[in-house]
């Protein structure tokens, strides 16, 4: 332990101790999250409504967003397909999250994605751009390397460094909002795979081993909250899909403070054992999060 | 100005795409009747087209006026323009599109704007956007995007416009007068046009003012005549004449439809008709793709039907290059052979053809790329992918990939079980559009999938399940 590390730890312990002396209501407002569940699973409602119930069960939006903070929301809006195709995150859900962040006192809410199809078309036709604006947020482009900054990934097994979008470095709060769907290469895509849209060099992931790179990039910045949209779930021909027939109207949503646990729960909904999804297994071994849902505390909500 | 805007910005849902269809060469290429309409127009009102509609003519006149130089009066018409017209007609008939493409004033103007003006403008917009974004202001203005830089085309265009600018400063409208095949073609009819500028009475003092303001230098004060085959009806002389001697007037009956005029008209029609019938004739080539992995045939945009149709009708105005949102269209440098120089070609090194996009066909003024509905376009196969398994990452390194299949809009590249949990792509050529998404996305070096063009575009079988909705199966209980 060097001097810097020692000071850092002392400060954290000191603050933690101080926090314990505060009344419970104040602690909750500061996000200690004690006694609150770490994962909420919701089913049977509309996307916005399911989010409301889920986030309330996790202690409200105030647990994640404090007054004056800047928030980055990372939806999936990677494909030039309309919302009915389930290729991108549900716009209604994104709009609701943006709104709740601002209501919780966020000073600014940004959303971006390094898209696969042409960014302008994907932002527009996914309906997400419009949804972010309706909610009061700002949509940022992510289509040129100028927006990205190189960061080290200490502990990465296949990826030692990568360039991430500048907003990922600048924001106070990061909220990950993927969609659950089939993926030809990775099997299933959800929380961690969605982070591939925060980096510049996507091709490198494929070249260096997709699963391990997905786990490695999750080391960079753990989202305060991961909201996995499973309202429409693409069950085949993913991640782009060829028609609405590839989609099942499932009406479900997972909210998790732990990205690995969120993916593990979503994998089960998709019908897979998380242990068989390599990036989930790797991430759990690397200590990024846990596959053990019950250790987090799970709230199950049916509407 | 409208044409400037047309080439500078990306006109999408505006009425601007109508503009190029008013242009002579594009409209003849699109529909042979265009030639007849324009010839009739010239019979009626002379070369008014040159001063009102032609962007290159307007450019020259603007340069000349900005220079403020008075001209020296009458100069006889050059012979060179007839040779130019003959050369263009002959080259057009022989299928050497480069000649008409280089001399068509509309296309030349288009290249000038996209090659010389647009890059600095886009650079300016992008740096302004960058400045705002560095202050956290996203989305105030959007970036203009880059179009491919082709050195030969850039320098050629720069040289053309430099010469033309210097020449125009001194001589008014030198291209219109001495070279332009369109102007010369219209001149064949405007000689006997109904409406023209002429000396009306006996008030001429011979002051010669009219001659100094005529950019075509076609007014002879000595002979008291205006060369109607060169006059573009800019009416500058009418404004300048102190005695009101020069006026726009209708020809007296009998004079306009002279025998010679009629003969000339008939000859012009025949030539135009011959050329356009020739270019409308069906393309006899058979569908063919590349015969080996190494051979890669160039790709023409969806809607261009075949290599033959495309190279014959394209005037290399670069309108499609400007509007392509993916930036994958670039002027060719020999892919279509020397005769198709600068006619655009698809370049999948920069991106791929977007599934729902029909921008190039909507922008094309000549019908070289026909405008397609998205539904039609999504069935047109412009090329075929070739998958080389031994280059594939999945096989080479035993790791998951699937980037090609991810991007494939029709799932012609489909992931099928390989070893263990791994999946590997499998190609179904019958639903491959040749859009290049797989080639662009493939991270392997060398590429495991490349796309080669089809000399005649094909059609894929319609994908099933277009109109059907999703499976409705709400989650009944949580599986954890």
**Higher-confidence residue: B252 or A210?**
A210
pLDDT at B390 over 60: yes
Residue B103 contacts residue B179 (beta carbons within 8 Å): yes
What pLDDT does B261 receive?
60
Task: Give the mean pLDDT of B18-34.
Answer: 56
Instruction: Check: CB of residue A250 under 8 Å from CB of residue A90.
Output: no
Cβ-Cβ contacts under 8 Å, A117 against chain B: 354-355, 407
| Strand intervals (E) in B369-436 | 380-387, 413-417, 423-427
ipTM above 0.90, yes or no: no
Between CA A254 and CA A246 the distance in angstroms is 21
pLDDT exceeding 90 applies to what percent of chain A? 84
Nearest CA in chain B to A302: B477
Q: Distances in Å between the alpha carbon of A23 and those of A26, A36, B334, B474?
A: 5, 15, 77, 42
Indicate whether A119 pLDDT > 80: yes
Q: For residue A21, what pLDDT is reported?
A: 47
Provide the pLDDT confidence category of residue B9 given band limits of 50, 70 and 90. very low
For residue B234, the distance in angstroms to the closest alpha carbon of chain A comes to: 44
Residue that the structure tokens 């006889």 belong to: B76
Please check the confidence at residue A26 and state whether its pLDDT lies above 70.
no
Tell me whether residues A209 and B400 touch, CB distance under 8 A: yes
Q: DSSP strand E in A10-144: where?
A: 39-43, 70-75, 108-111, 138-139
Share of chain B above pLDDT 90, in %: 29
pLDDT band at B292 (very low <50, low <70, confident <90, very high): low
CA dihedral B338, B340, B346, B347 (to 10 degrees): 20
Q: Report whether pLDDT(B1) > 70.
A: no
CA distance linking residue B399 with residue B212, whole number of Å: 77
Average pLDDT, integer, range B278-301:
65
Say what percent of chain B tops pLDDT 70: 81
Average pLDDT over residues A274-286: 96
Give B472's contacts in chain A (Cβ within 8 Å): 248-249
Mean pLDDT of A77-97: 97
**A–B interface: beta-carbon pairs under 8 A:** 151
For the cut 90, the answer to whether the pLDDT of residue B257 exceeds it is: no
Res. A30: pLDDT tops 70? no
Residue in chain A nearest B127 by alpha carbon: A146
DSSP type of residue B114: I
Q: Check CB contact under 8 Å for A86 and B468.
A: no
Q: Are A249 and A256 in contact (CB under 8 A)?
A: no
Q: Which helix (H) or strand (E) holds B449?
A: strand B449-459
More confident residue, A240 or B77: A240
Residues of B in contact with A236 (CB under 8 A): none
CB contact under 8 A, A210 and B400: yes
Residues of chain A with Cβ-Cβ distance to B138 below 8 Å are 110, 138-141
More confident residue, B257 or B418: B418
Which chain A residues are Cβ-neighbours of B401 within 8 angstroms?
185, 206, 210
pLDDT computed for residue B283 by the predictor: 46
Over the stretch B420-454, which tens digit does the pLDDT of each residue have?
A: 888 999 999 999 999 999 999 999 999 999 999 99
Tell me what the mean pLDDT of segment B326-350 comes to. 87
| Angstroms from A122 CA to nearest CA on chain B | 10
Residue ranges of A 2-61 with Cβ closer than 8 A to chain B: 41, 43-44
CA B438 – CA B386 distance, rounded (Å): 10
Q: How far apart are the first and last CA of chain A?
A: 50
Residue-averaged pLDDT of chain B:
81
Contact at CB, B354 and A80, closer than 8 angstroms: yes
3-state secondary structure of B198: strand
- Separation in Å, CA of B394 to nearest CA in chain A: 9
Residue B22 has pLDDT above 70, yes or no: no
CA distances from B404 to A239, B293, B325, B411 (A): 11, 18, 21, 9
**Which stretches does DSSP call E strand in A20-172?**
39-43, 70-75, 108-111, 138-139, 148-152, 161-165
Helix (H) or strand (E) holding B159: helix B151-171
Contact between chains at A184 and B479 (C-beta distance less than 8 A): no
Cα separation, B185 vs A153, whole angstroms: 69
**pLDDT grade for A86, boundaries at 50, 70 and 90:** very high
pLDDT at A13: 52
- Residues of chain A with C-beta less than 8 angstroms from the C-beta of B475: 43-44, 230, 250-252, 269
Q: What is the phi/psi pair of residue B395, to 5°? A: -80, -40
Neighbours of A18 (CB within 10 A): 9
pLDDT band at B37; cut points 50, 70, 90: confident
- Once rounded to an integer, what is the mean pLDDT over residues B30-36? 61
pLDDT at B282: 44
Which tokens hold the place of B146?
Answer: 């880059």
Full-model pTM: 0.81
In sequence order, which residues have a C-beta less than 8 Å from that of residue B55 and are 6 or more positions away?
Answer: B3, B4, B105, B106, B109, B110
What element of type H or E holds B236?
helix B236-240
A206, A231, A246, best to mutate vs chain B, most B CBs in 10 Å: A206
DSSP 8-class letter at B478:
-
Collapsing DSSP to helix, strand or coil, B57 comes out as helix
Q: Residue A116: which of B406, B415, B474 has the nearest Cβ? A: B406
Check residue B366 and give its pLDDT: 81
Residue of A nearest to B416 (CA): A184
- Tell me, yes or no, if A211 comes closer than 8 A to chain B by beta carbon: yes
Q: Per-residue pLDDT tens for B125-156?
A: 888 888 888 887 887 777 777 777 888 889 99
Residue-wise pLDDT tens digits, B87-132: 888 887 776 777 878 888 888 888 888 888 888 888 888 888 888 8
Find the range with the poorest average confidence among A18-22, A116-120, B198-202. Answer: A18-22
Q: How confident is the model at residue B205 (pLDDT cuts 50, 70, 90)?
A: confident
Whether the per-residue pLDDT at B280 is higher than 60: the answer is no
| Partner-chain residue, chosen from A144, A185, A237, that has the shortest CB–CB distance to B400 | A185
Torsion of the alpha carbons at A169, A170, A173 and A179, rounded to the nearest 10: -60
Residue B254, classified by CB atoms within 10 Å of its CB into exposed (0-12), middle (13-18) or buried (19+), is exposed
On chain B, the residues whose CB falls within 8 A of the CB of A300 are 478
Whether the predicted pLDDT of A2 surpasses 80: no
| Under 8 Å between Cβ of B25 and B338 | no
CB contacts, 8 Å: A209 with chain B: 397, 399-400
């Amino acid at each position: 332990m060097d001097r810097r590390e020692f000071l850092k730890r002392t400060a954290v312990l000191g603050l933690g101790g101080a926090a314990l002396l505060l009344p419970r209501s104040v602690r909750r407002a500061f996000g200690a999250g004690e006694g609150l569940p770490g994962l909420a699973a919701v089913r049977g409602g509309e996307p916005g409504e399911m989010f409301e119930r889920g986030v309330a069960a996790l202690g409200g939006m105030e647990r994640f967003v404090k007054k004056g903070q800047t928030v980055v929301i990372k939806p999936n809006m990677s494909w030039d397909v309309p919302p009915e195709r389930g290729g991108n995150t549900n716009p209604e859900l994104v709009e609701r999250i943006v709104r709740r962040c601002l209501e919780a006192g966020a000073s600014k809410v940004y959303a971006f994605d390094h898209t696969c199809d042409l960014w302008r078309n994907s932002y527009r036709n996914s309906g997400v751009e419009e949804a972010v604006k309706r909610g009061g947020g700002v949509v940022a482009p992510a289509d040129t390397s100028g927006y990205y900054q190189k960061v080290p990934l200490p502990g990465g097994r296949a990826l030692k460094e990568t360039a991430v979008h500048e907003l990922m470095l600048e924001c106070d709060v990061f909220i990950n909002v993927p969609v659950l769907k089939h993926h030809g290469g990775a099997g299933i895509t959800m929380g961690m795979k969605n982070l591939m849209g925060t980096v510049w060099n996507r091709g490198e992931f494929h070249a260096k081993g997709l699963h391990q790179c997905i786990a490695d990039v999750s080391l960079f910045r753990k989202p305060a909250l991961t909201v996995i949209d499973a309202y429409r779930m693409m069950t085949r021909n993913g991640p782009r899909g060829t028609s609405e027939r590839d989609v099942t109207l499932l009406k479900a949503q997972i909210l998790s403070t732990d990205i690995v646990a969120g993916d593990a729960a979503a994998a089960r909904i998709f019908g897979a054992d998380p242990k068989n999804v390599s990036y989930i297994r790797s991430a759990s071994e690397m200590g990024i999060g846990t596959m053990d849902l019950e250790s987090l505390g799970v709230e199950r909500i049916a509407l | 100005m409208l044409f400037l805007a047309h080439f500078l910005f990306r006109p999408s849902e505006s009425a601007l795409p109508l503009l190029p269809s008013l242009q002579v060469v594009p409209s003849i290429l699109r529909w042979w009747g265009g030639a007849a309409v324009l010839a009739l127009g010239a019979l009626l009102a002379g070369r008014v087209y040159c001063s009102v509609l032609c962007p290159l003519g307007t450019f020259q006149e603007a340069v000349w006026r900005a220079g403020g130089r008075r001209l020296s009066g009458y100069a006889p018409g050059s012979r060179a323009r007839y040779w130019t017209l003959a050369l263009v007609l002959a080259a057009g008939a022989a299928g050497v599109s480069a000649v008409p493409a280089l001399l068509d004033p509309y296309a030349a103007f288009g290249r000038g704007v996209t090659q010389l003006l647009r890059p600095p403008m886009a650079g300016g917009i992008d740096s302004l956007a960058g400045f705002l974004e560095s202050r956290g202001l996203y989305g105030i203005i959007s970036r203009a995007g880059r179009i491919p830089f082709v050195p030969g085309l850039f320098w050629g265009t720069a040289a053309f416009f430099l010469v033309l600018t210097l020449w125009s400063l001194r001589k008014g409208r030198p291209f219109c007068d001495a070279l332009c095949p369109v102007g010369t073609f219209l001149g064949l009819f405007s000689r006997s046009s109904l409406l023209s500028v002429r000396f009306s009475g006996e008030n001429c003092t011979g002051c010669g003012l009219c001659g100094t303001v005529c950019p075509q230098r076609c007014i002879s004060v000595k002979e008291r005549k205006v060369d109607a085959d060169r006059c573009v009806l800019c009416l500058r002389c009418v404004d300048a004449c102190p005695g009101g001697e020069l006026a726009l007037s209708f020809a007296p009956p009998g004079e306009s439809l002279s025998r010679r005029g009629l003969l000339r008209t008939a000859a012009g029609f025949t030539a135009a008709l011959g050329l356009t019938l020739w270019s409308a004739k069906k393309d006899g080539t058979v569908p063919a793709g590349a015969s080996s992995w190494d051979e890669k045939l160039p790709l023409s945009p969806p809607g261009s039907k075949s290599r033959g149709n495309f190279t014959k009708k394209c005037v290399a105005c670069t309108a499609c290059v400007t509007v392509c949102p993916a930036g994958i269209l670039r002027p060719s440098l020999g892919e279509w052979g020397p005769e198709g120089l600068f006619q655009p070609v698809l370049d999948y090194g920069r991106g791929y053809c977007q599934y729902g996009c029909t921008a190039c066909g909507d922008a094309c003024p000549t019908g070289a790329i026909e405008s397609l509905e998205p539904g039609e376009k999504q069935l047109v196969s412009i090329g075929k992918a070739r998958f080389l398994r031994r280059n594939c990452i999945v096989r080479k390194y035993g790791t998951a990939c699937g980037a090609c299949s991810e991007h494939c809009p029709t799932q012609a590249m489909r992931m099928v079980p390989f070893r263990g949990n791994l999946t590997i792509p499998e190609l179904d050529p019958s639903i491959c559009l040749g859009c290049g998404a797989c080639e662009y996305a493939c991270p392997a070096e060398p590429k495991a999938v490349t796309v080669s063009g089809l000399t005649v575009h094909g059609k894929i079988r319609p994908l099933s399940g277009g109109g059907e909705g999703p499976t409705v199966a709400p989650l009944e209980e949580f599986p954890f």
